Amino acid sequence: MEPKAIFDLLKSRFGGDILEIQEEGISPPFAVVSPEKLPEIARFLRDEPGLSFDSLMCLSGVDYKERFAVAYHLHSLKETHRIGVKVYLPKENPSVQSVDAVWPAANFMERETYDLYGIVFEGSIDLRRILLPEDWEGHPLRKDYKYPEFYHGIKV
């Protein structure tokens, strides 16, 4: 299916929760959805025959200067189409529902996003820091991140 058709299907099903379609200069195009409805939309995308997005290609956090975003790139092995789904999150206490019940591949990538951005994924089966030490302070990939002077007495 063409991305336009997929987005139309999504809009007809979820109406106002599909906030925006980003297509200009963006490949694959994104459907911006509201964070509260994300698990439902994810489940719909995976289970609906004709869509069957069974593969989560990539889950990334992004720091747009005024707000955070989590971008999901989805792919269907059966139908061979791809789209992206994005949720925008506020800068204070960014949090969104986890999708690792829908795509188990999300687990490590969500942990990484939590580790480097501080975005909390509620309902995740295991949300701990993954790349940085457990007692690291701060979330490095944020645009306003300040490097600490010392870590356990070692000059950083």
Partner 1 sequence: MKSHAEALPTQEMLINMGPQHPSTHGVLRVILRTDGEVVVNARPDVGYLHRALEKIGERVTYAQYMPFTDRLDYLASMNCNAAWAWTVEKLAGIEVPERAEYIRVIVCELNRIASHLIAFGSFTADMGAFTPFLYAIRERERINDLFEEVCGNRLTYNYVRIGGVSADLPEGLLDKTTEFLDYFEPKIPEYNNLISYNKIFVHRLANVAVISPEEAVAYGLTGPNLRGSGVPFDLRKDEPYSVYPKLEFDVCVGTGERGTVGDCFDRYMVRINEMKESVKILRQAIAQIPDGPVQAKVPRVFKPAAGEVYFRAENPRGETGIYLISDGTVNPYRLKIRAPSFVTMNIFEKITKGLMISDIVAVIGSFDIILPEIDR
Residues contributing to the site for partner 1 (CB under 8 A): 22, 24-28, 30, 54-58, 60, 62-63, 71, 73, 77, 80, 84, 103-105, 107-109, 112, 116, 129-133, 140-141
Q: Which is nearer to partner 1, 36 or 50 (CB)?
A: 50
Q: Where are the beta strands (DSSP E) in 39-141?
A: 55-64, 67-75, 82-89, 95-97, 120-122
Q: Which amino acid is at 118?
A: G
- For 91, the token pair is 């800068």
Considering the complex, what minimum distance in angstroms separates the CB of residue 84 from partner 1? 7
Considering the complex, what minimum distance in angstroms separates the CB of residue 76 from partner 1? 10
CB-hemisphere CA count at 13 Å for 132? 17
110 with 59: CB under 8 angstroms?
Answer: yes
- For 11, the token pair is 């809009």
Q: Which is nearer to partner 1, 133 or 153 (CB)?
A: 133
Q: Which is nearer to partner 1, 84 or 94 (CB)?
A: 84
Considering the complex, what minimum distance in angstroms separates the CB of residue 112 from partner 1? 8
Rounded-to-integer distance, Cα 143 and Cα 7, Å: 31
Considering the complex, what minimum distance in angstroms separates the CB of residue 103 from partner 1? 6
